[in-house]
Amino acid sequence: METLRAVVTGASSGIGAATVRRLRDLGWDVVAVARREDKLKALAEETGASYFVADLTDDAAVEALTAEVLGSGPVHSLVANAGAAFGTDSVAEASVEGWRQMYDINVLGVLRVVKAFLPALIESGRGDIVVMSSTAGHQAYEGGGGYVAAKHGAHSIAATLRLELCGEPVRVIEIAPGMVATEEFTRKRVGSQELADKVYEGVENPLTADDVADAVVYTLTRPHHFNVDFMVLRPIAQAAQHKVARHQGL
């Protein structure tokens, strides 16, 4: 039986790293991709995954990644997880540069790796593309305009690609998490750990990176005729972007 091989982007921490761990536990070959070599090296030593350092906003880096990965074997799954959010400004006070950066990684970064690996995924005869979007890609909220716009773009890639690949042996899967408490995402967005902690203050059991990785692996391990087009994940405490149950003392 052929060993399945996946490329996971944004793998240095959070959902990406958790996905690498779960796939390796199942015996998959995994190439972990991110910008931070120290984090990737530690993950590779822990899990036995291989890794490649690449900035997905750089065309040349994606070209080098593709050449390296495809030069060493087939690819069956691409988990396009890399993404980021910057700031919580209103549209009126938005940083144009911040919006540009979010578009480049959340939309064009996904586009670059999808284009790069799509021929190999088709050739594999059982390819998968997982696009990590967000509930922000389906519902706007105040202070989230740039991230909302970018994740709508990621959703558009997945939805359009699924139509364009109809008849090809490639599943297109979109995972849209809501409130997930990871070690870095919110801190980087709001600028400090103190402010990040306030986002989750009083929320009982926000989702974890491992929860989302579990959902990713579920979709990848269904029989290949079975496609999960679109999966929304939220903690039970979150009914919508703007509707979150908070309790004192948590």
Distance, in Å, from the CA atom of 155 to the CA atom of 33, rounded to the nearest integer, reads 21
User: How would you list the strands of the sheet with 170-177, edge to edge?
Assistant: 50-53, 29-34, 5-9, 77-80, 127-132, 170-177, 230-233
Catalytic annotation on 51?
no
Sole residue written with tokens 């087939």: 74
- Per-residue buried b or exposed e for 197-219, using 16+ beta carbons within 10 Å of the residue's own CB: eebbeebeebbbbbbbbebbbeb
Sole residue written with tokens 């880096």: 61
Of the candidates 177, 149, 156, 218, the one whose C-alpha atom is nearest the C-alpha of residue 81 is: 177
Distance, in Å, from the CA atom of 148 to the CA atom of 144, rounded to the nearest integer, reads 6
Residue type at position 13: S
Sole residue written with tokens 């396009």: 80
Residue type at position 165: L
Q: Classify 121 in phi/psi space as left (phi over 0), alpha (psi -120 to 50) or beta.
A: alpha
Residue type at position 11: A
* Of 51, 103, 141, 147, catalytic: 147
What are the catalytic residues?
147
